[in-house]
Chain A
Amino acid sequence: MLKINVVRNLIKVSALIVAGGVVFPPLTASADGHYDGVVVNILTRPGPVIAGRIVDRAEEFKEMTGAEIRVAEAPFAELFQKILTDWATGTNSIDVGVFASGWGIELVGGDLVENLDPYLAKDDKIDLDDIAPYFRDFNQKVSGSTYFITLDGDFQMLYYRTDVLAANGLEPPRTWEEYLDVASKIHGQDMNGDGEADYGSCIFKKRNAQSYFAIQSVAASRVQSMGTSEGIYFHHESMKPKINNEAWDKSFELYKATGEYGPPDELNQDIGDTRGLVVGGRCGLAIDWGDIGPLSIEEGSMIKDKIGAVIMPGSTEVLDPETGELVACDANTCPHAIDGINYAPFAAFGGWTAAINKGSGDKAKQAAYDFLSYMNQAAQSNVDVTMGWTGYNPYRNSQLNDTAAWVDAGFSQEAAENYLGAIKESLNHPNMASDFRIPGAQQYTGVVLDRELARYLAGEITVEQALENIEEAWEEITDDFGREEQAELYRLSLGITN
C-alpha cells in the first residue's frame, strides 16, 4: 500500500513539474540575453551582511540579462585600500566597489569613478525622487554629479526598551544628560528574565571598530546647529579643525560616562558584541544604526515588540565656533531646535554605496550600472531593507511611508510605525550631520580620532590632551593633502558651492 502511494505521489509530482515547465517557462540567461558573456566583478565586505544580498540579486540578474556578477569579499579594514590600489594602478580587476559612501570622494578626486549622470538619464526605473534627499543629494553626488548608487541608508539612532522604561515610569531620553539619568535608573535591573542584572546602556567602545562613529553621534548636536551645511569637523574657509573646544570636550566626557552603566568589558566591544547584548535583551538603552529594528524580529530575539527608536539625543547648548565655548540654545544659536533642544542626527558611515570603475570596459560598466539600478529599485530594495541579515537599512521614501512590507516581515504595526517614524525624523532633519567626505577621511577619523578617543577612554590621557592631539594630527593630514584642495572638497561635501 505504502509503495503504491509513493509511486502515485511521484507521478503527481512529475506531472506538476512537466505542467509547470509548459505553463511557466524557466527564466534563463536568455530572458533577454543582451549581457550574455559579460562579467562584472564586485568587491565588498565579507558576507552575509551586504555581500550576501548582492549574491542573491546577482543570480536573479543573470537569469534576466545573462550578465555574470561575481562578488569578491575583502576584510572591512582593507576594502577601500584594495579598491583604490586596483583602480589607481590600472589593474582594473574590480568593476564595482561597494563601500562607505564617504570614502568615495577620494576616488572621485582621483578621477577613478564613472560619472553616472548619462546612465541615470536613460534609466526610467530607478525613481530618484523616491530616494530620501540626504542620500540622493549628499551621498550619491559630488559637485552636482551622481557618482554613487545607494544600497543602504546609514545613520545612528537611539534605541530603548519600551517595557523597561514604562515599568520605571521613564520617557525616552531627549538629551545626553537625560540618557545618563535614565541609564543610571535602570542599570542593574533584570531586563530579559534570566535572573541576572543587565545594563542601563550599551554603546560600542572598542578601538579600531566603530567607536569613532559613536562619539561623532554624541558630539554632533553640540557642534552643529545651523543645518547640514555647517559641518562638524572644520571651519569652512580656513580648514582649521573645529575639534579642540568645549563641545567635543563635553561630548568625550559624556561618552565615557555612559560606560559606567554598560557591560564591564565595553571598552573591548564592537558593534557585533553590543548588538548581541541588545537582541539578547540585556540593554535598556543603546545607540546603533537601523539594523536593530529588523534584528529585533528575527528568531531568537528577546526584544520583539519591546524596542523603541527615537532620534539621537540632542543638546540644550551648542558650540560658538568663534570662541570655542558652549552657549545656550536660543532662536539664533539653534534655529532648528525643538523645545530648546538642538538635534543633529549623524549620518554615521553614510551607508553602503556602489561606485563603478571608470577604467572598466563600456559593456561591463553598463551591465554594472543596470545591476546596481536593479538592486536600488524599490521593487527589490523595499524587500531587502526589512531583513536584518542583509545589513541594508531604509533610504527610500516608499520604504519609510508604507508599513505593509515591515508588518509582512514580522513587525507589529506599532513597532513598524515607531521604527520608521524615528528614521523619518532623523532623515528629514534639516540639521542632519554629514559624515566625513573628503580625501583622508579614514586617517582623520578612523585612525586619529579613533586612537585618541581610545586612549582617553582607557585613562591614558586627559580629554584636553586627546583633543589637542587630534587637532595637531588633523592639521598635519590637511597640510599633507593640501589645505586649499581639502577646503574646497570639504565645502563641496557639505553642499556649499560658492
Chain B
Amino acid sequence: MNEWIDRNMGRVFLAPAVTLILVFSIFPLVASLLLSFTRVRLSGGGFKIRFVGWKNFEKQFFGSEQFHLIGTFTEISVLGWIVGLAFTAVLLGWIIKYIRSHFTWVGFIGRMITFAMALGLCWLFSATLLSGNPFGTVGVTLFYVFVGCGIQFLIGTSLAFACSQRIMGKNAFRVIFFVPMMITPIGVGYIFRMMADTTKGPFADVWQWVGLGEFAWATNPWAARIFIVVADSWQWIPFVFIMMLAAFESVPRDLTEAAELDCAGPWQKFREIIWPHVLPIAATVMLIRAIEAFKIVDLPNIMTSGGPGIATESVSLQAYYAWRSLDLGAASAIAYILLFVTVVTCASFFNLVIHSRIRKQR
C-alpha cells in the first residue's frame, strides 16, 4: 500500500487540478465544438439540438454571412493581383526552401498549415482592402492585432527603456504608466467614447478649437478603427511597459559596463547586448498581447457597437452578437474559426520568427 502511495503520490496530488481543468476548460471546449455542428433551440423541457454538419461554418465562409466574417468580394484590383501573386511566390519559395533544406514530416505539416492560412489571409487582403471592397470581422481583428500590438510594443518598450535609465522620478513614472491597466476595458471604452465626443463631451471645446467640432469619428470607418486602437493601446501599453521594464532591468550591469569600457556607443550597446538579452521576454509579451488582442470585444462593443456598419466589429464581437440572439451554433462556429486563426498565427509567429531568431543568437 505504502509503496503504491509513494509511486502514485504525484498523480494523486495532481488529480484535483487536472479534474478542475477538465471540467472548467476542456469540457466547455468540447461542448462548444459539438455545438458548432448543431442548431440549438431552447424550449420547454430543455434544449432541442439538431445536427447540421458543416452548415454553420459553410454559412460563414460561403453563405449569407461571408461578407460579415471575411468580407465582400467583387473583382480583384491590379494592385491586389500584384500583391497577392508576389506574396504567394514568397510563400511558395519559403516552403520549397524548407523542403530542400531540413525536411521533417511534423515540420512540413505545421508549415503547410501556416502556408494555407497565410495564403488565405493574403488573398483576403488583396481582394478586399486592396480592391476597394469592405473587409469583414477577420480583417478588422487582424488590424487590431497587428497595428494595435505594434504600437503598444513600440511605445511600451520605449517608455520601459527610458525608465530603466538613470532619470529623475522614474518610480513615479512607473506608477503613472501602470494605472490604465487597472481600469476595466468597459470603463476605458466609456471614457474614450466620452472624450472623443466632439459635440457634447468634456473636450468638446477643445475639439471645436482645433477645428474638429463637426467631425464625427464614429461615422468614419477608419477613424473609428483607429480610435479603438488608440483606446486599446492606452490600456495595454502599461502591460508591455511593466514587462519590458523588468526585462531591461535584468540585463547584467557588468556586461553593459564592459561594453562601455570597450568604447561601444549607445546604439551598439543596445543592439549587441541589451536587445538579445530582452528578446525572449519581448517575444513572450507580444505573444500574450496578440492572443488578448485577437479576443478584443469590450472596446468596439462600447465605443461603436461594431459600427459604422460592421466596420469596427471584431470576430469575438460577431460571435457575441450571434450568441446574444441565441444562435448558439453560429456563435460556436465563429469562436472556433477565431481559435484556429489565433493558434496558427501565434504558433507560427513564435516558432518561425522568434524561436528561429533566438536559436540563431545562441
Contacts and interface: CB of A to CB of B under 8 A. Distances in A.
Contacts of B348: none
Contacts of B46: 88-90
B305 A207 contact: yes
Range of interface residues on B (Cβ < 8 Å) = 35 or more
B219 to A, nearest CB: 4
Instruction: Tell me whether chain A's interface is mostly helix, strand or loop, or mixed.
Output: helix
A469 interface: yes
Interface string B73-105: 000000000000000000000000000000000
A208 B306 contact: yes
Nearest to A88: B42
Contacts of B305: 206-209, 268
A447 B321 contact: yes
Given A264-B214, A443-B327, A458 B307 contact: yes
A290 interface: no
Contact of A264 (B67, B68, B216, B323): B216
Interface string A414-456: 0000000000000000000000000000110011000100111
B134 interface: yes
Contacts of A33: none
Contacts of A455: 309-310
B200 interface: yes
Interface in B90-147: 134
B64 interface: yes
A164 interface: no
B196 to A, nearest CB: 9
Nearest to B317: A208
Contact of B308 (A88, A268, A447): A268
B180 to A, nearest CB: 23
A81 B324 contact: yes
Given A81-B326, A265-B219, A443-B327, A454 B42 contact: no
Contacts of B304: 207, 268
A85 interface: yes
Nearest to A441: B325
B219 A268 contact: yes
Given A77-B324, A208-B305, A264 B310 contact: no
B221 interface: yes
B199 A454 contact: no
A207 B72 CA distance: 20
Interface in A355-387: 358
Interface string B265-296: 00000000000000000000000000000000
Given A454-B307, A460-B311, A469-B64, A265 B199 contact: yes
A282 B215 CA distance: 18
B198 interface: yes
A265 B221 contact: no
Contacts of B216: 263-268
B218 interface: yes
Interface string A206-234: 11110000000000000000000000000
A458 B43 contact: no
A56 interface: no
B44 interface: yes
15 contacts: A85-B42, A88-B46, A109-B43, A267-B218, A268-B216, A268-B304, A358-B44, A442-B325, A442-B326, A446-B325, A451-B310, A454-B309, A459-B308, A461-B134, A476-B64
5 smallest A-B Cβ distances: which pairs? Answer: A458-B309, A268-B218, A458-B308, A110-B43, A265-B216
